[in-house]
């Protein structure tokens, strides 16, 4: 099974520079079974980007996917009107969820695409669509089984467990601890999972003081469940709109003290369970999606180290895209401060930039950092996005 995150945010999209590292789109996760069946969990705003990727991948071929909605809150369905493959009559989509407030699955989804909320009705979507209510708790695919349980959330919510080729992914978002029945449900669902994706919207402090009864959980509860259910990899999910990248990093650091194999989901994170990648994270510099060109130009990087001391280091640009750059540093920059990256005009093979052109440093934000082994030393691989 392969897993890819298209939206990781809870409640409302948060497109802002301080959220670039983790991303601002709401809940949407794509899973490919070992035989390539497409299973989509939730249709938050991340679904729009998945749609574009599917169009690129399938070209003129038709697309078929099984869609499971945890529930009907905006942050879990708002991507549907903007999912382009739904407008092509050649494609087939099977929506699954639970009937809610006297509405069928289809009615609950039709409502968000009706006057005065949206100009186009859902019936204008020409793809073959089927709407199935989740009655039995198990679905069989060609080479995968999906199980569902109710979670503790206002107006209801479903948790999902997907098993394929001996691997298990559990998706349990929008769940508040404290109900005996649901606490039991979520532990049973997560039992022995290779990957548990779990609602960690609030810090324990926020939850205890302001957010009881809002239907969400904390990283601390995520750790307890992951330990109780003997989960291999914990992924914190449904990030609060007010939690910036920097804040999420501190949450991950804190969580690691209790459960080392944890990370906070970011948009674009991919895990291939077939290769046991849950034990080894994918290359975290892959946050930039634009194509990257090797472009070796001397750089001077001005920044502040983790110890608070400013540094200036000469290095070489390794590659660049329209969004950012990658280079190696001996210094260890503080992720919460910006760096100034100054491009130099001369390389060993001559001028690459107009001689005498005024070179302005580019304000850059650290996105990812990881050690790079060189023959005689270790440096920091630094991925930045331009601000």
- Pick 155 or 246: Cβ nearer Zn ion: 155
How many amino acids of this chain bind Zn ion (CB under 5 A)? 4
CB 46 within 8 A of CB 154: no
Cβ count within 10 A of residue 75:
26
Q: Judged by CB under 5 A, does residue 288 bind Zn ion?
A: no
The stretch among 106-114, 167-175, 275-283, 317-325 that binds Zn ion (CB under 5 A) is: 167-175
Least separation in angstroms between residue 331's CB and Zn ion is: 40
Beta bridge partners, 130, equal 94
CB 166 within 8 A of CB 205: no
Q: Where are the alpha helices (DSSP H) in the chain?
A: 46-58, 74-77, 105-110, 180-190, 204-210, 219-228, 245-256
- Pick 153 or 292: Cβ nearer Zn ion: 153
- Pick 30 or 75: Cβ nearer Zn ion: 75
Residue number, nearest CB to Zn ion: 73
For Zn ion, what does the binding mask look like between residues 123 and 152, x meaning CB under 5 A? ------------------------------
Rounded CA Rg of the chain: 23
- Pick 39 or 43: Cβ nearer Zn ion: 43
Least separation in angstroms between residue 201's CB and Zn ion is: 8
Q: Where are the alpha helices (DSSP H) in 13-86?
A: 46-58, 74-77
The stretch among 73-81, 96-104, 250-258, 297-305 that binds Zn ion (CB under 5 A) is: 73-81
Query: Which helix (H) or strand (E) segment is 264 a member of?
Result: strand 262-264
Least separation in angstroms between residue 173's CB and Zn ion is: 6
For Zn ion, what does the binding mask look like between residues 335 and 374, x meaning CB under 5 A? ----------------------------------------
Least separation in angstroms between residue 133's CB and Zn ion is: 19
Instruction: Map residue 248 onto helix, strand or coil.
Output: helix
Which residues, in sequence order, are CB contacts of 378 under 8 Å at separation 6+? Answer: 371, 372
- Residues 11, 13, 15, CA angle at the centre, nearest 5°? 150
Instruction: Map residue 368 onto helix, strand or coil.
Output: strand
Cβ count within 10 A of residue 198:
29
CB 109 within 8 A of CB 131: yes
- Pick 45 or 285: Cβ nearer Zn ion: 45
For Zn ion, what does the binding mask look like between residues 6 and 45, x meaning CB under 5 A? ----x-----------------------------------
- Pick 13 or 324: Cβ nearer Zn ion: 13
Least separation in angstroms between residue 42's CB and Zn ion is: 8
Among 30, 174, 245, 318, binds Zn ion (CB under 5 A): 174
Among 30, 42, 75, 240, binds Zn ion (CB under 5 A): 75
The encoded tokens of residue 237 equal 């999910």
Among 21, 48, 73, 220, binds Zn ion (CB under 5 A): 73
226 to 234, 258, 262: CA distances (angstroms):
7, 10, 10
- Pick 98 or 327: Cβ nearer Zn ion: 98
Least separation in angstroms between residue 67's CB and Zn ion is: 16
The encoded tokens of residue 311 equal 């540094």
Residues that bind Zn ion (CB under 5 A): 10, 73, 75, 174
């Amino acid at each position: 099974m392969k897993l890819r995150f298209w939206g990781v945010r809870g409640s409302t999209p948060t497109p802002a520079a301080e959220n670039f590292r983790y991303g601002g789109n709401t809940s949407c996760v794509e899973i490919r079974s070992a035989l390539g069946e497409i299973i989509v969990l939730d249709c938050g705003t991340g679904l729009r980007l998945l749609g574009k990727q599917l169009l690129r991948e399938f070209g003129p071929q038709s697309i078929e996917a099984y869609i499971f909605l945890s529930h009907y809150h905006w942050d879990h369905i708002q991507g549907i009107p903007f999912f382009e493959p739904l407008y092509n009559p050649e494609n087939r989509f099977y929506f699954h969820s639970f009937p809610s407030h006297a509405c069928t699955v289809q009615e609950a989804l039709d409502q968000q695409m009706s006057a005065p909320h949206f100009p186009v009705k859902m019936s204008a979507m020409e793809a073959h669509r089927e709407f199935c209510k989740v009655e039995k708790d198990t679905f069989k695919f060609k080479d995968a089984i999906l199980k569902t349980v109710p979670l503790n959330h206002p107006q209801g919510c479903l948790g999902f467990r997907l098993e394929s080729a001996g691997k298990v992914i559990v998706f349990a978002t929008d769940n508040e601890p404290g109900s005996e029945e649901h606490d039991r449900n979520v532990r049973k669902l997560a039992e022995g999972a290779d990957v548990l994706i779990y609602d960690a919207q609030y810090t324990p402090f926020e939850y205890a003081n302001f957010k009881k009864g809002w239907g969400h959980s904390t990283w601390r509860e995520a750790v307890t469940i992951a330990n109780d259910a003997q989960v291999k990899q914990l992924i914190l999910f449904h990030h609060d709109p007010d939690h910036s990248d920097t804040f999420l990093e501190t949450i991950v650091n804190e969580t690691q003290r209790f459960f080392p194999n944890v990370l906070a989901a970011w948009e674009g994170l991919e895990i291939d369970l077939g290769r046991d990648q849950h034990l080894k994270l994918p290359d975290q510099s892959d946050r930039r999606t634009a194509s990257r060109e090797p472009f070796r130009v001397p750089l001077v990087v001005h920044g502040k180290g983790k110890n608070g001391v400013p540094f200036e280091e000469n290095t070489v640009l390794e590659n660049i895209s329209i969004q950012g750059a990658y280079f190696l540093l001996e210094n260890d920059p503080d992720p919460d401060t910006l760096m100034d990256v100054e491009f130099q005009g001369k390389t060993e093979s001559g001028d690459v930039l107009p001689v005498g052109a005024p070179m302005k440093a580019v304000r850059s934000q650290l996105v990812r950092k990881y050690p790079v082994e060189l023959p005689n030393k270790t440096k920091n691989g630094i991925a930045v996005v331009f601000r």
